[in-house]
Amino acid sequence: MRLATLWPWLMYGWAAGEILLALLVRARRSEHQIRDRGTQFILWGVIFGSIFALEWVGPHFPRAIEVGHWLKPFSVVLMMGGLLVRIIAIITLGRSFTVNVATHASQSVQRSGLYRVVRHPSYLGLEICFLAVGLHTGNWACLALMLIAPTLAVLYRIHIEEQALLGAFGAEYADYSRTTKRLIPGVY
């Protein structure tokens, strides 16, 4: 498969996957304590808004990223890596994964797999995807657009999620927080 053909498949696959998750893996009040505070809609709005805004930003701010012919293949590899990290994180959480911030009675703090490395590997996967999209444009303004606004939305979502997890698991989650970084291994 050619690179020019693979990129749209990755983008459409990512969007379709997120839509399927939203439709199929949403916590219900009858089974979960929902603490989302609208972050699901904020996150979706910012991510999709940023992606759609790329069409306008690119032509109006044509500052090219001068790095050579390897940028597009690298962005494809990054996108595949980001999607893989997100998928593995979701599968690892299993029934405890929901698209809205929620906890349930039988849930426990996950410390295995990618969750040994960071507390929020699913969001790390998203961040890698944002970086891939921004780099694929080959435009500094588009890269900034894809990193700044979505990252701020993810950080707000993490803040809300951590409050919910601390409320649900108390000292166990506080201990996990002290020993494992949020989003970037060894850094943050």
CA dihedral 67, 72, 75, 77 (to 10 degrees): -120
On the 0-12 / 13-18 / 19+ scale of CB atoms within 10 A, 119 is buried
Average pLDDT, stretch 38-64? 90
- Strand pairing class (102-103; 33-34): antiparallel
Structural domains of the chain ordered from first start: 70-99+108-188 (1.20.120.1630)
Percent of the chain clearing pLDDT 90 (strictly above): 68
Average pLDDT, stretch 124-151? 96
Q: Which amino acid is at 61?
A: F
Average pLDDT, stretch 170-181? 95
Q: Which of 23-32, 72-81, 123-132, 143-152 has the lowest mean pLDDT?
A: 23-32
- Does residue 106 surpass a pLDDT of 90? no
